[in-house]
Chain A
Amino acid sequence: MGASRFERFEKGEKPLFVPFITAGDPTSEITVELALSLEKVGADAIELGIPYSDPLADGPVIQRASSRALQAGMTLEKAMKLVSSMREKGLKIPVIIFTYYNLLLQLGEERFFALASENDIDGLLVPDLPFEESGELRQQCQNKGISFISLVAPTTSKERLKQIGHSAKGFLYCISSLGVTGVRRELSSDLDVFLKKAKEYSNVPVLIGFGLSNKEQMQSFNDLCDGFIIGSRIVSKIEELGRELIQLEKRKEALESFEEFVSSLVPSFVYR
């Protein structure tokens, strides 16, 4: 059952590490392999991004991944079914479906929840569904044992931060910088004030994401949060390795260099 995987989701010796990959980039089969690789190098959960024609919250790297995956024919339904393949191959960590709202609307909520339970899905994150519009869906997720992941930003008002923090499930996603996803060299210096507030109001682990790209950034926030979400940096590595990943004879090597890259990205204390 999905929710149980998140029950053990808390910061232990090491900060939590949640990578993001786009389903179907470069192919469905490789997405499954990449998920297993990520678990192997210490991921505590995976955000599985569903490609969308108009990804408003995403920067160029994830936009390109989205286009590649769409060309490969990926859909929300197919992506959810991929999670079953991941489980069959031994994936144990929670999987969160990251989808824009329109895709969910067109699939239909009923169908979504049926697929979520058939395919062992643990969480749902809808980046363009703000708190005010998500009430019903959050309730449904609660009933079906799916963790509905909420986001807060440094510009989120105190009142909203309180509300969102209190109702957060799984983990609270703190957006570290304004704008879109993507690597940034510098993060705002007020971030610690924001993270402290977020921790104060949240009943679940507080993770930061958007713009994270190196160990130094993560080390500096380790005391202020429970973990990290890394997207664009990982997705751009997949883009770089795309051709090798597709060729069967080079895949193993490519996956190894992917694992090595991800390992180098996160601070050593992330590792078991």
Chain B
Amino acid sequence: MINVYPDTRGRYGMFGGKFVPETVMFALEELERGFHDAMEDPLFIENVSNELIDYSGRPTPITFASHLTERLGGAKIYLKREDLNHTGAHKINNAIGQALLAKRMGKKKIIAETGAGQHGVAAATAAARYGLKCKVFMGEEDIKRQALNVFRMKLLGAEVIPVTSGTGTLKDATNEAIRQWVGSVDDTFYLIGSVVGPHPYPYIVREFQSIIGKEAKQQFKQLNHGKLPDAIIACVGGGSNAIGMFSPFIEEDKVKLIGVEAAGKGLDTEEHAATMAKGTLGVIHGSITYLLQTEDGQIQEPYSISAGLDYPGVGPEHAYLKHSGRAEYVSITDDEALEALSILCTDEGIICAIESAHAIAQAIKEAKAMSVDQSILVCLSGRGDKDVHTLFEREEFHDGSK
């Protein structure tokens, strides 16, 4: 059964594992023990659960997208509203969990990597809440592009460390966070932002994000007389909202699971982040998975209009779900995502994150091909406030251009 993964080596089938320098091994072993102990401790579980309720505002609702459904004339579309979390996305579920784990393990500081800054903000938020010192590693290119999120992190009391190595983006920030962690593991916890990295990270993040799917399953059944959705759709960068949503549904064979990657400017161009469609097997950030790389094995920089999806790898469990055929992975271009975003704004009054708009765009495609008595559950992973400046620069969002 799929849910027994990862195995003792941290593998999901052939994917995952611990491909890290010897100096990292101790830190991972300690983390694995710390996480295992915490998950056996009812007080810890209760503490996380209470914080998700009292601080982040869970449970997040499921919204029936009635106008969108009507417009398409096919399957009913439901939205799991992770955008209504504190800080505006699913990222906080994991940040709260790991920050409380850090505290339980006696760590005083956390470090985190961030691309666009969403995970950095979530980590800084959790650090402030639980009295931990926080350093966020961020590529210098990203710092330039995401000045507001840098400011948010600083407001929250975090220190933002510019990363100049490599291409100065998310993958380099992740490398740097791992490097720094190894040198300071006695008092520092590395709070990773997605279901990526060496074991046990993909497992830890899945466990903290699976609240999304657990809630959704129960809520959906209540809304639909015990029925489950016919399909579940979520966007995939590293893949944490998708794994969180899929996880409790993996055992439900009749529920189709669809992950949506960013096709950027098109799969036939160099500018995309479609790791599943165009990537090959390799090692990135300590894990065997699909990744975008040259023939020689140098990791390539991905592209997507949505910063949260442009990661050159993908979580090893997703690679496994694709390999085993349990989930299907498709891709959506920048333009398709923006069009979906625009439709959701006017049909439902929700400005969603561009990441989530990729999932909406796929839902629009699927719904049309399905019957009215079927239904689709979409993970609306985050709100679009952070993307408003990107939208503002696009002509199609201004009067008269459409």
A interface residue numbers (CB < 8 A to B): 52-57, 59-60, 63, 67, 70, 75-77, 100-107, 127-133, 151-153, 155-157, 160, 175, 178-180
Among A102, A127, A153, the residue within 8 A (CB) of B26 is A153
Among A52, A54, A175, the residue within 8 A (CB) of B22 is A175
Closest A residue to B28 using CB positions: A130
User: How near does chain A come to B322, taking the closest CB pair, in angstroms?
Assistant: 19
In the assembled complex, the Cα of A240 lies from the Cα of B165 at a distance in Å of: 19
B interface residue numbers (CB < 8 A to A): 9, 17-27, 29, 165-166, 171-172, 175, 178-180, 182-183, 185, 280-286, 293, 295-299
Contact A76 B296 (CB under 8 A): yes
Contact A56 B179 (CB under 8 A): yes
Contact A70 B19 (CB under 8 A): no
Contact B17 A133 (CB under 8 A): yes
In the assembled complex, the Cα of A52 lies from the Cα of B299 at a distance in Å of: 8
In the assembled complex, the Cα of A151 lies from the Cα of B26 at a distance in Å of: 13
| Residues of chain B with a CB closer than 8 A to A55's CB | 175
In the assembled complex, the Cα of A179 lies from the Cα of B175 at a distance in Å of: 12
Given A129-B19, A130-B20, A180-B183, check contact A63 B298 (CB 8 Å). no
Among B18, B20, B295, residue most surrounded by chain A Cβ atoms (within 10 Å): B20
In the assembled complex, the Cα of A52 lies from the Cα of B175 at a distance in Å of: 12
User: How near does chain A come to B170, taking the closest CB pair, in angstroms?
Assistant: 12
Contact B293 A102 (CB under 8 A): yes
Given A128-B20, A129-B19, check contact A178 B25 (CB 8 Å). no
In the assembled complex, the Cα of A218 lies from the Cα of B21 at a distance in Å of: 23
Given A56-B179, A60-B165, check contact A151 B283 (CB 8 Å). no
| Residues of chain B with a CB closer than 8 A to A106's CB | 280, 282, 293, 295-297
| Residues of chain A with a CB closer than 8 A to B299's CB | 53-54, 102
User: How near does chain A come to B286, taking the closest CB pair, in angstroms?
Assistant: 7
Contact B183 A105 (CB under 8 A): no
| Residues of chain B with a CB closer than 8 A to A178's CB | 23, 182-183, 185
In the assembled complex, the Cα of A17 lies from the Cα of B27 at a distance in Å of: 30
20 A-B residue pairs with Cβ-Cβ distance under 8 Å, sorted by A, are A53-B166, A54-B166, A56-B178, A56-B285, A60-B165, A100-B283, A102-B282, A102-B284, A102-B293, A103-B296, A105-B281, A106-B297, A130-B20, A153-B23, A156-B25, A160-B25, A178-B182, A178-B185, A179-B182, A180-B179
| Residues of chain B with a CB closer than 8 A to A100's CB | 283
User: How near does chain B come to A198, taking the closest CB pair, in angstroms?
Assistant: 12
Contact A152 B22 (CB under 8 A): yes
User: How near does chain A come to B186, taking the closest CB pair, in angstroms?
Assistant: 9
Contact A179 B293 (CB under 8 A): no
Contact B23 A175 (CB under 8 A): yes
| Residues of chain A with a CB closer than 8 A to B180's CB | 179
Given A63-B165, A178-B183, A180-B179, check contact A52 B298 (CB 8 Å). yes
In the complex, the 5 A-B pairs of residues with the closest C-beta atoms, listed nearest first: A179-B183, A106-B297, A155-B26, A57-B21, A53-B298
Given A53-B298, A76-B296, A128-B286, check contact A179 B23 (CB 8 Å). yes
| Residues of chain B with a CB closer than 8 A to A131's CB | 22
| Residues of chain B with a CB closer than 8 A to A56's CB | 20-21, 24, 175, 178-179, 285-286
Given A54-B166, A63-B165, A128-B283, check contact A107 B20 (CB 8 Å). no
Given A153-B23, A180-B183, check contact A54 B18 (CB 8 Å). no
User: How near does chain B come to A39, taking the closest CB pair, in angstroms?
Assistant: 28
Among B19, B183, B280, the residue within 8 A (CB) of A101 is B19
In the assembled complex, the Cα of A57 lies from the Cα of B293 at a distance in Å of: 19
User: How near does chain B come to A69, taking the closest CB pair, in angstroms?
Assistant: 11
Contact B19 A133 (CB under 8 A): yes
Contact B21 A128 (CB under 8 A): yes
In the assembled complex, the Cα of A132 lies from the Cα of B175 at a distance in Å of: 22
Among A55, A59, A105, A132, residue most surrounded by chain B Cβ atoms (within 10 Å): A105
Name 4 extra pairs, CB < 8 A, besides A106-B296, A107-B297, A179-B182.
A75-B296, A130-B20, A133-B9, A133-B18
| Residues of chain B with a CB closer than 8 A to A54's CB | 166, 171-172, 175, 284-285, 299
User: How near does chain A come to B12, taking the closest CB pair, in angstroms?
Assistant: 15
Closest B residue to A180 using CB positions: B179
User: How near does chain B come to A156, taking the closest CB pair, in angstroms?
Assistant: 6
User: How near does chain B come to A204, taking the closest CB pair, in angstroms?
Assistant: 16
| Residues of chain A with a CB closer than 8 A to B24's CB | 56
In the assembled complex, the Cα of A160 lies from the Cα of B29 at a distance in Å of: 12
Among B9, B21, B24, B27, residue most surrounded by chain A Cβ atoms (within 10 Å): B21
Contact A102 B22 (CB under 8 A): no
Contact B9 A132 (CB under 8 A): yes
Among B25, B27, B180, B281, residue most surrounded by chain A Cβ atoms (within 10 Å): B25
Contact B179 A179 (CB under 8 A): yes
| Residues of chain B with a CB closer than 8 A to A104's CB | 297
In the assembled complex, the Cα of A72 lies from the Cα of B384 at a distance in Å of: 42
In the assembled complex, the Cα of A129 lies from the Cα of B29 at a distance in Å of: 15
In the assembled complex, the Cα of A105 lies from the Cα of B14 at a distance in Å of: 14
User: How near does chain B come to A214, taking the closest CB pair, in angstroms?
Assistant: 20
In the assembled complex, the Cα of A3 lies from the Cα of B167 at a distance in Å of: 39
User: How near does chain A come to B196, taking the closest CB pair, in angstroms?
Assistant: 13
In the assembled complex, the Cα of A103 lies from the Cα of B297 at a distance in Å of: 5
User: How near does chain A come to B228, taking the closest CB pair, in angstroms?
Assistant: 38
| Residues of chain B with a CB closer than 8 A to A107's CB | 296-297
In the assembled complex, the Cα of A132 lies from the Cα of B18 at a distance in Å of: 9
| Residues of chain B with a CB closer than 8 A to A60's CB | 165
Closest A residue to B283 using CB positions: A102
In the assembled complex, the Cα of A188 lies from the Cα of B285 at a distance in Å of: 27
Among A55, A128, A152, residue most surrounded by chain B Cβ atoms (within 10 Å): A128
User: How near does chain B come to A36, taking the closest CB pair, in angstroms?
Assistant: 26
In the assembled complex, the Cα of A67 lies from the Cα of B166 at a distance in Å of: 7
| Residues of chain B with a CB closer than 8 A to A75's CB | 296
In the assembled complex, the Cα of A260 lies from the Cα of B296 at a distance in Å of: 36
In the assembled complex, the Cα of A157 lies from the Cα of B28 at a distance in Å of: 12
User: How near does chain B come to A13, taking the closest CB pair, in angstroms?
Assistant: 30
Contact A130 B178 (CB under 8 A): no
Among A54, A133, A156, A157, residue most surrounded by chain B Cβ atoms (within 10 Å): A54
Among B17, B26, B179, B185, residue most surrounded by chain A Cβ atoms (within 10 Å): B179
